[in-house]
Amino acid sequence: MSLLLLLAAALSAAPSTPPAVPLHSAICQFGSIYKIGSGKTIIVKRFGVGINSFQSNGAGPKQAGMALDFIIANGGETGAVYGPMRSYMFPTDLSNLDRLGYRWQKPQADPGGFFRVLSDDGQHELFMFRFVGCAKPH
């Protein structure tokens, strides 16, 4: 029991840093493909990590976050989402993520992965997208 308390104290005292990406994951050189419930295909071009507050007024505590820079296939519309966890993502724009200092890399294969995007107040699910595979070169 005391070991568990010691571990919890150590974790809570650790500085808030972006999560590390596992080295064993396959990189999707041409993007990661996800499907939305409506059947639309999203291609994630870049995956980002950073630190910021996810409260709408920006007053909350800073925490590690992730972001996706994507394009909607067959439409060309671009978009971005960010959040502290996969099930709690919010729409944003790339200029906001750049201003916040997000660092970008190519997306990785994400078998079984999903992202749930919520309204600004976090009360309503806007859409969810699930991993399909890595994109192929044109």
pLDDT digits (tens, 9 = 90+) for 113-126: 999 999 988 899 99
What is residue 30's DSSP assignment?
T
More reliable by pLDDT, 103 or 23: 103
pLDDT at residue 25, as a whole number: 61
Q: Which tens digits make up the pLDDT trace of 48-105?
A: 999 988 876 777 889 999 999 999 998 889 999 999 999 999 999 999 999 999 999 9
Residue 11: pLDDT band (50, 70, 90) is very low
- Residue 53: per-residue pLDDT: 85
Q: For residue 48, what are its two tokens?
A: 């980002």
Concatenated DSSP letters for 46-102? EEEEEEE--STTS-S--EEEEEEEEEETTT--EEEEEEEETTEEEEE-HHHHHHTT-
